[in-house]
Chain A
Amino acid sequence: MCGIVGLFLKKDDKDNRLGAMLAEMLAVMSDRGPDSAGFAVYGAGDTARHKLTLRGPEGADWTALARGLEEKDLGPVDVVVRDTHAVLTVPAASVAAIRAALPALAPDVAVVGEGERMELYKEVGLPAEISARFGLADMRGTHGIGHTRMATESAVTTNGAHPFTTGLDQCLVHNGSLSNHNLLRRKLKREGIAIETENDSEVAAAYLTWRMREGDNLGEALEHALIDLDGFFTFVVGTESGFGVVRDPIACKPAVMAETEDYVAFASEYRALVGLPDIEKAHIFEPEPARVYFWERQ
C-alpha cells in the first residue's frame, strides 16, 4: 500500500532537473507511504561499465572495498558514496566475479541494483528525508521511478522498501496487495529465482525476472503478469530506455498520468504532479485496467 511516482523526460536538456522534480513528487506521496521510500534514477551510462549500487552499514569503508576489488584485477572501480549506499562503476566483464567476491570482502554489503545507467536507492524513513539523505534533488538523468511505502503484511525494513530490481537496468514499484504471492514465491524459488523477503512486491519483480529469463521481453512479461498475478496492483517498471505501467483488471488502486511535449509523468495521486512544469497544459489521463503501457527514448 503505497504511493508511486515516475518521470520520463522526452528531450535532452542542459538544465536537467529530473532529480529535483522526482524528489518533489516523492515528498508529496508521504501520506500514502510513511514507512520507507526508494527510487531509481537512469543517468549517464556506458555499455562497457556497469553501475553496481551497494548498500552497507554506516561508516562502511567503500574505498577499501574498491581497492580490494582492484587488487583482485576486477577494476578499475570508481566509487560515489551517498549516505548508506555507494555506486561502484566497474567493468561489465567483472560484474559476475565482483558479485562472487563481495560476501568475503564485505559481508555486510548488499547489492541493491545493477545497470548500465540505473542507480537505485532505498531506506526506511520519511520520503523527504530519504531523498535528502541520498541527494536525489541534484541527480540528473532521463527518467526515474520512486516509491513510498505503507507496509501491509511484511516488515518495515530496507529490504522491504521499493523499488525491487528485476534485472539489469530494470526495477519495479508496486501499489496494491497481491493475494497469491506465497504460492508464486515457492514456484519462483524452485525455478532458481532469488527472493529475499516476504514482500509481495518482490515476488512481482521476481516473476518478471523469471519470465524474461524464459525469453519474454518486458512487454510480454507484463502481459503474463496480468494472467498469473492475483490481487490488486498498479506497477510502474523502469528499464534502461523507458518506463512501463500496468494495472490489474479491477484497477482499484489509483493511477494518474500527465504527458506534455517534454515529459511523461506517473503518480498515484494528482497532487504529486502539481509541481511539474506546464502541468496546467499537460494531457492528464488514467491508464486503463489490464493494459500494458510503455514509453521509450527514441
Chain B
Amino acid sequence: MSKTDHVPHTVPRKSATFDDYTMSEIRRAAATGIYDIRGGGTKKKVPHFDDIQFLGASMSRYPLEGYREKCDTSVVLGARFAKKPIELKIPVTIAGMSFGSLSAQAKEALGRGASAMGTSTTTGDGGMTAEERGHSKTLVYQYLPSRYGMNLADLRKADAIEIVIGQGAKPGGGGMLLGQKISPRVAQMRTLPEGIDQRSACRHPDWTGPDDLEIKIEELRELTDWEKPIYVKVGAARPYYDTALAVKSGADVVVLDGMQGGTAATQEVFIENVGLPILAAIRPAVQALQDLGMHRKVQLIVSGGVRNGADVAKCLALGADAVSIGTAALIAIGDNDPALEAEYAKLGTTAGAYDDWHEGLDPAGITTQKPELASRLDPIKAGRRLANYLAVLTLECQTIARACGKSHVHNLEPEDLVALTVEAAAMAQVPLAGTSWIPGKNGY
C-alpha cells in the first residue's frame, strides 16, 4: 500500500436516541435547572386519523347526490336535563382558550368566526370578557379548578357551563401562565399580582371524585335554574371510566380531549408523555355511553388534532356527536404564518415551529398580551378566515358523509371505516383494510 492511498473515513453518524433536539434539551436543562415550558400540543407522531379510510358507497350502498341532496349537520347539545339545550348548525365547536393566554383580539375573532357559522366558542381559565360574550352568539363558560374570574353574573350570561377536570395536553395537571402575560387586565380579572408566574390548581377546591361532582353539578343547575347544559371535560386517559362517571354524575355533555390538544403553557414532558391520542380514546368513551344506554342522549364532543373535514367525519363515525378545534382555529386566524418568518427568526424559531405561546411575544398577535402585538390582529378579518375554515370543514365532512350515503352526518358509523395500520385498527376498533380483522376483538 503506497502512502498516497486514501483511507476511507467513516461518515459522522448521530445517534437516533440522542438526536440534536434531545441533546439540546439536555444542555438547556443542565444550564437552567428548569424543565421546558411551552405551548402547543404534542409534536411527536402518534397514531391518528390519517391511518383511517372511509369505504364510501359502491354497489351495495348508494351515495347522495353532490350538494343537492341534503346532508344535515345540526347538533343539539344538552337536552338530557337542561331547559335550554344548545343548537348548533355545524358539528364543530371552538375549544376553551383563555383570555390571558390569547389576546382580546384573538378571542373576538374566534367569537366572530364561530357565530357566523352558527357554532359555539368557549372561555378558558381566567373568566369571561365582555368582548368575548358580545361577539359569541353561543358561549360555553368553563368552570375550572382555579375559578379565576368566576362570578355569578357571568355564569348566568353563559349558554352552557363546562366543568373542566382535565385537558388532553396535560391530564392530571394544572395550567400555567407565566408572568410575561399577567398584564394589568389579566391580573385584575384573576385577582393576582401583576407579572407573577401564575400557578393553577389541578384539583377543584371544593369537590373531589364523581360522587361529589354530582352534588357540584346540582349546585350549578340550581344556580342557573336548570336552564343551561352542563358539560364535563376530561383529558383522554381512562376514557371509558371517565365518560361513565360523568354520565352517572349527571352531565349533559362529555368533552374528551386527546393528547394532540394544545395548551397555552405547560411542561414539555407532560405534553409529550401523558395522555392518549384521540384516536384511541373515542371508542372506549362511546362504549361507556352505549353500555349505559346514553349514546346520543348525553353528547360526546371530542378534540385533539382535528384538522380537516375528514377528521371531523371520522370522529363522528367513531361515535362522537361533535368535535372541538383549538390549534386549527388559531392557525386559521393567523398563528405561525410563514408571512411572519423574519419575526419568527428573530425569536430563534421558524414559522410552523413557534410554540413559546407563554412568553407573550407572538408576532401574529394571538398568544400575547402586548398591545402593540395584539393590535396586529384584525378581529374582523381573522374572524372571517375562521368562518371560511369552519365552512370548509363542514363541506368536507358532508362530502364524505354523502359519499357514504348519509343524510345526516350523525349517521356515519364505525362500519364505514377501515384502518391502514394495525395500530390504528386496534385503537379505532375498525378492521384492517382488506380484512375483517380488528385486533383485540373476537379472540384475535
Contact = CB atoms under 8 A, between A and B. Distances in A.
Interface of A: 1-3, 31-34, 150, 152-153, 175-177, 232, 252-254, 268
B211 interface: yes
A153 B208 CA distance: 16
Contact of A31 (B203, B208, B214, B245): B214
Q: Is the interface of B mostly helix, strand, loop or mixed?
A: helix
Interface in B183-212: 203, 208-212
Contacts of B83: none
A14 B210 CA distance: 41
Interface residues of B, number: 12
Contacts of A253: 208-209, 212
Given A150-B245, A152-B245, A176 B214 contact: no
Q: Which 6 A-B pairs have the closest CB atoms?
A: A252-B208, A32-B211, A1-B211, A1-B210, A1-B209, A153-B241
B201 to A, nearest CB: 13
A87 to B, nearest CB: 30
Nearest to B204: A252
B239 to A, nearest CB: 12
Given A31-B214, A32-B211, A33-B211, 9 more contacts: A2-B211, A150-B210, A150-B248, A152-B210, A152-B241, A152-B245, A232-B208, A252-B203, A252-B208
Interface in B211-252: 211-212, 214-215, 238, 241, 245, 248
Nearest to B207: A252
Contacts of A232: 208-209
A34 B215 CA distance: 14
Contacts of B241: 152-153
A33 B227 CA distance: 26
Contacts of B248: 34, 150
B287 to A, nearest CB: 14
Nearest to B210: A1
B209 A252 contact: yes
Nearest to B249: A150
A175 B208 contact: no
A152 to B, nearest CB: 6
Contacts of B212: 253-254
A176 B238 contact: no
A11 B153 CA distance: 53
Interface in B48-99: none
A176 B209 CA distance: 8
A232 B208 CA distance: 9
A154 to B, nearest CB: 9
B249 to A, nearest CB: 8
A284 to B, nearest CB: 19
Contacts of A177: 209
Nearest to A31: B214
A179 B209 CA distance: 13
A152 B238 CA distance: 10
Residue of A2, A31, A177, A253 contacting most chain B CB atoms (<10 Å):
A31
Which one of A150, A153, A176, A232 has the greatest number of beta carbons of chain B within 10 Å? Answer: A150
B54 to A, nearest CB: 34
A31 B215 CA distance: 9
Nearest to B203: A252
A248 B245 CA distance: 22
A3 B208 contact: no
Interface in B295-349: none
A32 B210 CA distance: 8
A293 B208 CA distance: 23
A194 B215 CA distance: 36
Contacts of A252: 203, 208-209
Nearest to B208: A252
A144 B215 CA distance: 26
Contacts of B215: 31
Contacts of B208: 232, 252-253
Contacts of A32: 211, 214
A252 B208 CA distance: 6
Nearest to A177: B209
A3 B209 contact: no
13 contacts: A3-B211, A31-B211, A31-B214, A31-B215, A32-B211, A152-B210, A153-B238, A153-B241, A177-B209, A232-B209, A252-B208, A253-B208, A253-B209
Contacts of A1: 209-211, 245
Contacts of B203: 252
A253 B209 CA distance: 8
A78 to B, nearest CB: 39
Nearest to B214: A31
A102 to B, nearest CB: 32
B318 to A, nearest CB: 22
Nearest to A3: B211
A24 B212 CA distance: 20
